[in-house]
Amino acid sequence: MIDRGTYFLAPTAADVRTHFPDAAGIEAAGCGSIVCLPARHDGVTLATLNLWHASGHYDAATAERALPLVSLLVPACR
């Protein structure tokens, strides 16, 4: 995700358990859907915006719509 400049999506609690070693803590916080979005400038990822919500909340369409908005964070990261 950081090198490619694309988002990472774990849309369900099962996906979170697959990709995050601390999934038990994430689920304990009431979260089971994660999307991570890179804030990039000149081809370099400066930061990531990581959004958590209930299982099933995020999907690929949501991540695609949110990805361009992350560029608004670039000035704060520079």
The string of pLDDT tens digits covering residues 28-75 is 999 999 999 999 999 999 999 999 999 999 999 999 999 999 988 888
What is the pLDDT, as a whole number, of residue 25? 97
The superfamily CATH assigns to domain 8-77 is GAF domain (3.30.450.40)
Cite the beta strand spans of the chain per DSSP E: 8-10, 33-41, 44-53
pLDDT of 50: 96
The tokens describing 77, both together, are 């990261």
Segments making up each domain of the chain, as ranges: 8-77
Q: Is residue 1 predicted with pLDDT exceeding 90? A: no
Cβ contact 46:22 at 8 Å? no
pLDDT in tens, 2-33: 889 999 999 999 999 999 999 999 999 999 99
